[in-house]
Amino acid sequence: MSQMKSANLAITNRCNFNCSHCSVNAGINKKELSFNEINRIYKKLKKLGFEKIDIGGGEPLLRKDIVDIVSAAKRQGFEAKILTNGSLVSENLLKKLNRAHLDGIAVSLDSVDFDTERKIRCINKKTFSTVIKNIKKIKKFGFYTKINCVLCNSTMHRLNGLISFCEKNKIDELRICYFLPIGRGASFRRRELVPPLKWLKYIKKNLNSSKKTKIFVGALIAKKGTKNTDCLVHNNENLDIFPDKKAYVCPVMKHQGKSAGKIDSLNLNVKHKRACFPLLKNFFRKNYIPKGYQFVCPLRKFLTADVT
Ligand SMILES: C[S@@+](CC[C@H](N)C(=O)[O-])C[C@H]1O[C@@H](n2cnc3c(N)ncnc32)[C@H](O)[C@@H]1O
Ligand code: SF4
């Protein structure tokens, strides 16, 4: 079964955080897409059959015209979500985003323990508390609320606390992502990369029977025979578009500088397969895919029970 075509639109490179793992190197320049450019991109994506847009960055809530950007996506008929670090949310903004019919908000939170979170996101205690409060506000406003967590060496031991937080606050979805050694993350890979099997087993061991929150993992390996493990970008189901208008079929392709072209002149026939496979194989060598397991595109999402 083919996935819904989904695009990640980085509307700005600016960010008020400076996360050490940032896959997109946010903040290295101040480039952003103008509102007119964004509208043209929506039209192009519509023509290409895309149905879903995740509006991110950098930090998308730094844009004063974020409500207009969401409204325009909804007018074109997209399912639209915002991906945010959660620090710039206000009740006033949430009211406006509600009126613009935004479909959901995904906040990045790797741990509910401040000392753990600051290792990755380099934020102070006040900002951390604001993010936690804002996640609760988003939920209270009735948005589909998702938490994206990057589970790496520094954050692993706090997974239980994060799951309990999601349950207690009736968070709709928790996505546990594998740390990718790309962007700024490339320079601290030795510290943060966890062998894929250890990662998967750890999650399985620590999952209590979650009822209110749907928990998905973006694993790197799965039991042999698991279905739908193929590279997500294989069928051009995913597109990452950046403020310079360059599009990539997966974030790893951006790290490798292999663009599918500018959004106005895309070449989606280029075959990109398993871009992350050689990148990660390099680190784990022969322990990468243990016996009985197979490679899985980390952009796909699975229930843990399906992959372990
Ligand atoms: C690049 S950020 C942009 C949106 C927003 N600023 C935020 O932090 O949510 C999008 C997502 O990518 C995740 N991310 C950043 N660096 C990563 C890495 N090296 N590996 C995996 N995910 C990463 C972030 O945690 C966040 O959930
Ligand atoms: S992960 Fe998000 S919040 Fe952190 S620096 Fe990158 S864009 Fe900013």
254 Cα to the center of ligand 2, angstroms: 16
CATH architecture of structural domain 6-307: Alpha-Beta Barrel (3.20)
28 Cα to the center of ligand 1, angstroms: 15
* 217 contacts 200 by C-beta, under 8 angstroms: yes
Ligand 2: atom nearest CA of 183 is 6
User: What is the reported pLDDT for 1?
Assistant: 41
Q: Could you tell me the residue ranges of all domains in the chain?
A: 6-307
Nearest-CA residue for atom 7 of ligand 2: 58
Mind listing the pLDDT tens digit for each residue in 191-240?
Answer: 898 988 999 999 988 886 667 899 999 988 888 988 888 877 776 788 99
User: What is the reported pLDDT for 270?
Assistant: 62
Instruction: Please list every protein residue whose CB sits less than 6 Å from any atom of ligand 1.
Output: 15, 21-24, 56-57, 59, 83-85, 108, 148, 150, 177, 179-180, 182-183, 185
Query: CB within 8 A of 105, min separation 6: which ones?
Result: 81, 82, 84, 89, 97, 138, 143, 144, 145, 146
pLDDT category at 255 given cuts 50, 70, 90 is: confident
- Going by C-alpha positions, the residue among 169, 196, 168, 170 that lies closest to residue 181 is 196
pTM: 0.95
Q: Which helix (H) or strand (E) holds 102?
A: none
Mind listing the pLDDT tens digit for each residue in 289-299?
Answer: 888 998 888 88
C-alpha–C-alpha distance, residues 306 and 223, integer Å:
8
User: What is the reported pLDDT for 4?
Assistant: 61
Residue 253 scores a pLDDT above 50: yes
Residue 3 scores a pLDDT above 70: no
187 Cα to the center of ligand 1, angstroms: 15
